[in-house]
Amino acid sequence: MTPSPISRLARHALLALGLAGSLAAHAASDANLPAPHHLAVDAASAQSDDVVQTARRYAAFWDTGDVVYAKLALSPEFVDRTLPAGRPQGPDGPLQASKGFRAAVPDLHAEIDDLVVAGDRASVHLHFRGHFTGQFQNLKGNGQTVDFQAFDLYRVRDGRISKTGTSKTI
């Protein structure tokens, strides 16, 4: 039996309300976002608080794998200017990367070592740790330690990351 257009509309409205409620709950829990070990902010920037909050939300996504943090941090028009081969462009790219990496390293943890904000841009030094106990392609982990760093540059517009890349591309 095919659902009526009204019941489909009601189902979509409920899903939207559920996502909105989930986003609001996460926004309210911003006090629990990863805090940078070192923070430098251009005092003349009127939007620095938004840029810091956005960078911390994106770090929370990498730290927890919680998709809601990515949705709060990434613009729907997000562009990765240093996109690795095989990863889709847009917000789905980081979601796919996190899911795959967490399958290999279920206890993945990310910290913000350094966060530098100037204008609408953030430079972020993330430190990742965990253990390779899962599966990555044809490889099965046996508890090897994973410890690596990532350096990202973000451009933030309207409270969301619109671009990532190198200083020449964003």
Closest residue by Cα to residue 128 from 61, 77, 66: 61
Q: Which CATH number fits domain 33-164: 3.40.50.2300, 3.10.450.50, 1.10.1030.10, 3.90.550.10?
A: 3.10.450.50
Q: Is residue 59 within 8 Å of 126, Cβ to Cβ?
A: yes
Q: What is the pLDDT of residue 84?
A: 84
Closest residue by Cα to residue 97 from 82, 119, 77: 82
In the chain, the largest separation of any two C-alpha atoms, in whole Å, equals 61
How many Å apart are CA 105 and CA 143, to the nearest integer? 9
How many Å apart are CA 62 and CA 50, to the nearest integer? 19
Q: What is the pLDDT of residue 143?
A: 96
Domain parsing of the chain, residue ranges = 33-164
- Render each residue's pLDDT in the chain as its tens digit; 170 residues: 445 545 555 554 545 555 555 555 555 467 789 999 999 998 777 789 999 999 999 999 999 999 999 999 999 999 998 888 888 999 999 999 999 999 999 999 999 999 999 999 999 999 999 999 999 889 999 999 999 999 999 999 999 999 887 555 54
Looking at this protein, which amino acid is placed at residue 16? A
Q: What is the pLDDT of residue 28?
A: 46
The interaxial angle of helices 48-64 and 92-104, nearest 10 deg, is: 40
Q: What is the pLDDT of residue 103?
A: 96
